[in-house]
Amino acid sequence: MTNREIVDKAYNAYKFYNKDEAISRRFILKVFRDTAKWLISQKLLDRTLYKELNLYSTLSCFAFKKEDVVKCPIVEFRRCKTLMKSKKPLPELIFSRYGASIKNIISLDGEYEFVLTTAEQYRRNQKRSVKSKDIYIYLGEDNHLYIPDHEILMLDLTILTIKTDEVEECSECSDLDCEKSGWDFEFIIPYKLLDPLYKDVLQTLGVTRQILEDQNPNGQERQ
């Protein structure tokens, strides 16, 4: 289901019962996205969505550039030998109590996988007498990824984001069709959450659930 398709149903229901009030499709899409983020984040807590691979987006060729370690806003990384920062921020991720919805991060050749860490954990690892061979990566508050102590220019990752239209924009090897509208990208929502999603969105818009299910059963308005 595309962004356009999921918005159309709610937009038409709203217009039918609120003829004198204008509302934009972009606002309805924002309500859908905000609501979907909340519903999905709740389901991430019980780990029931991890097998639904179609929810995740693959971001290929995510590029990095060398960062000045002295000016780095992350104190723990100012003593790194080298520090790489993603050229672009990640698309808006879905968070739960377990952290960001990043499923895996791998090198372009697939030979090694990065370990997502926190600044505190990185600091503790640096104090250990025996250093780990893992390659750590950090998600900053600015939504950029940081790679300390390794000069890596590009990688692939799998993420869960509502803004699927931004995934291809972040890729250095994307063949994004400039004529493709943001409305034509897939709207990410598990099928089992589709009904609660519509219900919550319509309530937010001030439309009851009954309106969507039975707008005009006999072809005459408001009967």
The pLDDT tens digits for 195-206 are 999 999 988 888
pLDDT score recorded for residue 44: 81
Look at strands 145-148 and 83-86 and give their pairing.
antiparallel
Residues 22 and 95 in one domain: no
pLDDT score recorded for residue 50: 62
Q: Is residue 185 part of a domain?
A: no
What is the distance between the alpha carbons of residues 99 and 40, in angstroms, rounded to a whole number? 13
Token representation of residue 111:
């030979």
Q: What is the pLDDT of residues 7-27, one digit of tens each?
A: 998 888 877 666 667 788 999
Q: What is the pLDDT of residues 66-105, one digit of tens each?
A: 998 887 778 888 888 889 999 999 999 988 877 788 988 9
The structure tokens 């990043």 sit at 102
Residues 147 and 124 in one domain: yes
Tell me what the mean pLDDT of segment 55-73 comes to: 89
Tell me what the mean pLDDT of segment 172-181 comes to: 73
Q: Is residue 91 part of a domain?
A: yes
Cα angle for residues 106, 76, 150 (degrees, 5° grid): 35
Residues 38 and 78 in one domain: no
Q: Is the Cβ–Cβ distance between 188 and 160 less than 8 Å?
A: yes
Domain that holds residue 139: 56-178
Tell me the pLDDT band of 159, cut-offs 50, 70 and 90: very high
> Could you tell me which residue, 115 or 47, shows the higher pLDDT?
115
Residues 92 and 133 in one domain: yes
